[in-house]
Structures are given as structure tokens and as C-alpha cells.
Amino acid sequence: MTTTAVLIVGAGPTGLTLACSLARAGVPVRIIDKSPRFHRESRGKGLNQRSRELFEDLGVGEAATASGIEHITLRKYRGGVAIADDVTFGDRVPTPDAPYASGLIIPQWRTEEILRDKLATYGVEVELVSELAGFVQDEDGVTATLTDGRRIRAAYLAGCDGGRSPVRKALGVGFEGTTEAEECMVIGDVRADGLDPAYWHQWFDVDGGIMLCPFRDGGHWQLQAAPEQAVDGRIVPPSLESFQRMFDRHARLAGVKLTDPTWFSTFRVNVRMADRFRVGRVFLAGDAAHVHSIAGGLGMNTGIQDAFNLGWKLAFVLRGLAGPDLLDTYEEERQAVAAWTLNLTDERMRAVREGVRAPGVGTEAVITDDITTLGVGYPGSSLAWGGPTAGHRAPDAPCRDAATGRPTRLFEVFAGPHFTLLGFGTAAAAALAEAGAVYGDRVRTFRLADDEGHAGRAYGVDGDALVLVRPDNHIALTTAAEGVAEVVDNLRRL
């Protein structure tokens, strides 16, 4: 039997984000997946603005940006005629507190590849053809058995293994919700040579619709459509032939032929959430914990953000920097976010269904501030320790290091598996020195020079103050510049 600190089941974006978060903190981690090979399917094709911020923190933001499309233009058609364009977040530009004005269109296979490459820099590889058969847990850890008979002993296990999660089922955790029979879609990856890749093409007619979304590599497109139905009412399984028939009926572009299909899927909307996100030493994250409508592309993003929340907490407990009660806050914080996400995506899907009945309207009904998830926070959390913005996302801001004069950004200061104590004003210097003496590199202290006032405005600070930022870049506490005792007392509670 081999051992590790954390065993992750499932090597999709959620599992890989969790593995990267743990590995960079120096926590031994293994990540297994039953697949025989890494897929090349587009699947969840978007990183939203908040996920882009977290990818920057993990050191993979530039790679993602280089592989994705920002501000994609939705081209809407009726009767085969282009009648309207809509640029996603076209009215937004980067701001000092939010550097990403747009999400990214990027195929899921590429997102996973970027995360795997980063994970490899820590000496961790995904273990393919490694299927979980079962596990047992006790007071000290979890023993997992694979289908080939191997056993792995871990302090904790994380089920990031999708909507049909064997980990969730083995725990006996309920997965209540509904299956929306009328919300069914066929999806696939095809080539569409001759179609302009500058647009996400969306044909909606009274008798159905079809969409083709491009990717930066210029090869395959993701096709989404309402399925064909046979005379007996059953759904026609997706195929290249059925895709071509639907394309010809709605697009009416005789010169474009769909070719080289590499993935087909039939997607039926399930809206479900796990009763619990933690049972003892076992956690659920991503689709294993919640599934919902694809409206807004929040499935993969919510999973990534689950993992970023769980990762720092597991790392702190396993490094002896916090007691195990910290792990209770994962469910406390993320289950509420999952419930909000289910409601939001339901509402946005209804808006799209209503909207596409009108000529010139497409999926832009989902493009709202909510889907950026920049506003998602935990103000009611037990880790929101004080101040009007406690629990909220910690904004970015350009500033200078007051000690060296070096220009920097707050996101650069936050990056890494540590708390950050920001000091505003000269009166904060003594508090920062005291906190640094107590906590060393567990808390990064930083006194900033806020020449243009961007940081002060972003954090609601006027004058001297201390702001404590969590490792997942949420505000834990805002207090007076002499309030180092409050900072230390709250950190000691961990």
C-alpha cells in the first residue's frame, strides 16, 4: 500500500486545480483518473473572469489567455440571414480592480492540458487507467482500493469525479433535484471549413436552432443544437449526418460541409446538489457536488472555484498551520454558492429560451455581471472576521512597495498559498513588523504606497488601515492600523 496526503479522484479542471493548489503548497498529492488517455473534447469551453484571476494566482493565466478568445462576437441569424452581432462584455475594459474584462473561450481539453503542465512542474503526474473501486475511512485517514487491486492510504480524499460521482454514491450522499426532460441538447466537435471563425454563429428559427463556436486553434468548432426527433418522438442520436441536416436546414450555407467529427454527446439538463460536500475525511467538488444548466458556462468555473477554496484549507491543516475545524468552512461557503448557481443558471436558461423567439436574439441573455462570479463571496462565513467587506473578493490594484518603491499589483502580492496582510499608511508599519515576527512566511506582510488611490477605493479604506486577505483571495478582516492584535487573535483561532 502506498501513501499520500491527499488522493484526488478525477482529473478534470476541478481535480487538477485542487492538485495544483496542494502541490505548490508542498502537500503530497496523487490524482487518479479511470480514462485510458487524455481527451481532446471541447466540453466546458469557457473560463470566466474570476477563474482567470485564480489561474493567474496559480501561474497559468498567461498560457490560458494565449489559448483563448476574449470578447467573442455572437452573430445571430434568422432564416439563414445574419441580422445582429453582439460582443460579449463588449462594453467592458480592464480596470485597476478587475484586470479581466472578458472571459475566455477555450476548449476544456486545453484548459486541462495547461493545468497538467503546471502540475508536472511540481513533480506530480495524472495517473491514468486508475479507477476507484471503493474506500473506507477511519479517524486517521482514508484507504482507497483501485479496480486493479492497488491500495492507497491518504489523510484525505477528494471526489472530483463528475455528476455520476462514484465517490458521492459510496458516501451515500443525496443528490436531490430534477432532470429537465425538455432541455436536451446535442453537442459535438466538428470541422466547418469555410465558416468565418471570427464569430460564434447562432442560427435560431421557429422550428429549432444550431450554434457553432470557434476556438483559437482554428481547427474544430463546438456544435450545439436542439436534437432531431424521430417520428416516434425519440431523440435521434447525434452523428455527422444529423449535424449536417440541422446545419443545412438553419444555416443554408451550401458551401460549408461539416467534417472530421471527434466528439458527440447528448446533454440533458440536470439540476441537482449534494446534501453534503464533506463526510469525515472525504470531500466532493465540482460536478460531483452540483450540476445545473449550461447557461452562463458556470459548471466548470464553479468547480475550479470549489477547488481553490478547498485547496488552501487542506494545505493549512496538513501543514499544521490550522486545526481540522477549518475544513468545515468548505461546505459552509461553497454549498451556498452552489445553491445560488443553480438558481442563477435556471433563470438565465429561461431568459434564453424566451429571447431566441425574437429575430436577432441569441444567447446574450446569459451575459450578465453574475456570470463573471466576481461578486461571489462569503460575507456570512465564520472566516469573515470583521469590516464591511469581510468575505468578499479581494480586488486587484496597481501600487508600489512602500519599502522599495517597486511598482507592483496586489494580485502579484497575493499569489501563493499564504495569507496577506496589507498595510495602508505609515501607521501600519509597526503592525506589519509584529505580524511578520509572529507568523513568518505563513503571512506575507506588505505595506503599499497607493499613489493614485486605486487600492484605497477598491478596499473602502480611507487613511491608515490593515487588510487581511485569505489565500484564496477573499478578504478576512479590515481593521485599524494599530489592530494587529485583532489580526493575530483571529489567525490563532485557526
Residues of the chain with pLDDT under 70: 181-182
Q: What is the pTM of this model?
A: 0.97
398-493: CATH architecture: 3-Layer(aba) Sandwich (3.40)
CATH of the domain spanning 179-269, picked from 1.10.10.10, 3.40.50.150, 3.30.9.10, 2.60.40.10: 3.30.9.10
Which grid cell is 274? Answer: 449534494
Question: What class has domain 2-69+102-177+271-372?
Answer: alpha beta
Give me the amino acid identity at 436: G
Which residues are registered as beta bridge partners of 82?
77
Predicted pLDDT at 362: 82
Residue 457 to residues 42, 365, 396: CA-CA distances in angstroms?
A: 39, 31, 11
Phi, psi of 465 (to 5 degrees): -170, 165
Which grid cell is 284? Answer: 466532493
Which residues are registered as beta bridge partners of 6?
29, 156
Predicted pLDDT at 355: 82
For residues 133 and 97, give the distance between their C-alpha atoms in angstroms, rounded to a whole number: 46
- In the chain, CATH 3.50.50.60 sits at 2-69+102-177+271-372
Nearest to 476 by CA among 391, 366, 358: 391
- In the chain, CATH 3.30.9.10 sits at 179-269
Which residues are registered as beta bridge partners of 444?
420
Phi, psi of 13 (to 5 degrees): -60, -35
Q: Are 476 and 322 in contact, with CB atoms under 8 Å apart? A: no
Give me the amino acid identity at 480: A
